[in-house]
Amino acid sequence: MTTFAPSATAARQSGLMAWLYRAEGWLDARGRGAWIALMVLAFVLVWPVGLALLFYMIWSNKMTCSKSGRARHMRRPLSMSQSSGNSAFDAYRDETLRRLQDEQENFQAFLERLRHAKDKAEFDQFMEDRARKTRQDTAPQEA
């Protein structure tokens, strides 16, 4: 019967991995500043290690804002299909959302009419300038 005994290298690697996991947990508990400080220190002492830490931090999303406390505690707004449990509030919310939707559509239509009027005014001005220039160019030739 053969027994499996892990080699010294395997035991050392599992110990190193365990130490790395503990270090990562310790740094995570202290926040983004601890990661940045470690990366800067690693760049100063041994730049390849600092570069490796930078790549790891980017790869593991340790530097994104989505992991901050603000993003975790933000609440999702209620949509029209979700009920708050209060029918009076739900009716008020639905009516307000409908009114705001109508106002937005009216405002978008107003902006479109405003853009069209501005474009028309600019085009009319261009045509007047062109006609004026044509009249000026032809006037000296007749004299």
Query: Which pLDDT tens digits describe the chain residue by residue (143 residues)?
Result: 455 555 555 545 578 888 888 888 888 888 888 888 888 998 899 888 888 888 888 888 777 665 444 444 444 455 556 788 888 999 999 999 999 999 999 999 999 999 999 999 999 999 999 999 988 888 766 54
Q: Is residue 74 part of a domain?
A: no
Range of the domain at 23: 13-64
Co-location of 97 and 140 in the same domain: yes
Which of 61, 41, 58 is closest to 50 using CA atoms? 41
Q: At what angle do helices 47-59 and 32-45 cross, to 10 degrees?
A: 150
pTM of the complete model beyond 0.85: no
Co-location of 19 and 55 in the same domain: yes
How many domains does the structure of the chain reveal? 2
Q: Is residue 123 part of a domain?
A: yes
Co-location of 44 and 98 in the same domain: no
Which of 113, 14, 32, 15 is closest to 68 using CA atoms? 32
Q: Is residue 77 part of a domain?
A: no
